[in-house]
Amino acid sequence: PQTPPRYEESTAEFGFVERLLPPSRIPDPPPHPKYPTPSGWSPPADPPPDLPYFVRRSRLHNLPVYLGLRQGRRLTELRRIHGDIWVSGGLGGGSGGLGGRPLTPPVPPQALERDLRAFLGSQGVPEVAAQVNEVTGTLRLRGHWGAQVRQWLLQRGF
């Protein structure tokens, strides 16, 4: 029977190994003297806006607005939407149901979509087709409206 080889464990040189490992977390960006930076980046507002929905930044601290093509169609996708995409209080009846809820369910307008459509309309953008996916927290717009959506997100404090 052979004995296992002998080895010596040294923690003094582990600092060299740690330099080769990727960081476990992306560090926060350093403070800049003025915003937006030359690359166009701006930090989110502090404190976050008091809205029924929230749009989180990506792990690299960028706005989650993506442009793409699907079957020849130009699409703009806004991801990482959290909170109440569906805000209650549309065309429902008065109170009187169980727990003060209306007897007829209200038709829930899509708050983020409604606010974004109002902004795009004020920018002279024609009415665009949109799709809200509540499960994945995404909003798709037909057309490339990335610059306008980023501008709207920055104005809202995201």
DSSP 98: G
Instruction: With CA atoms as reference, report the closest residue to 119 among 87, 153, 76.
Output: 153
Neighbours of 145 (CB within 10 A): 22
pLDDT band at residue 12 under the 50/70/90 scheme:
confident
For 36-63, the pLDDT digits (tens) are 999 999 999 988 898 888 999 999 999 9
- 3-state SS, residue 102: strand
pLDDT band at residue 153 under the 50/70/90 scheme:
very high
Q: List domains and CATH numbers for the chain.
A: 45-156 (3.30.780.10)
For 64-88, the pLDDT digits (tens) are 999 999 999 999 999 999 887 665 4
pLDDT at 81: 92
DSSP string, 4-70: PPP----STTHHHHHHHSPPSSPPPPPP-SSSS-TT---PPPSSPP-SSEEE---TTS---EEEEEE
Asked if 56 and 154 count as a contact pair (C-beta separation under 8 A), the reply is no
What mean pLDDT, rounded, does the chain reach? 83
pTM exceeds 0.75 for this model: no
For 85-124, the pLDDT digits (tens) are 665 444 333 333 334 444 444 434 478 888 999 999 999 9
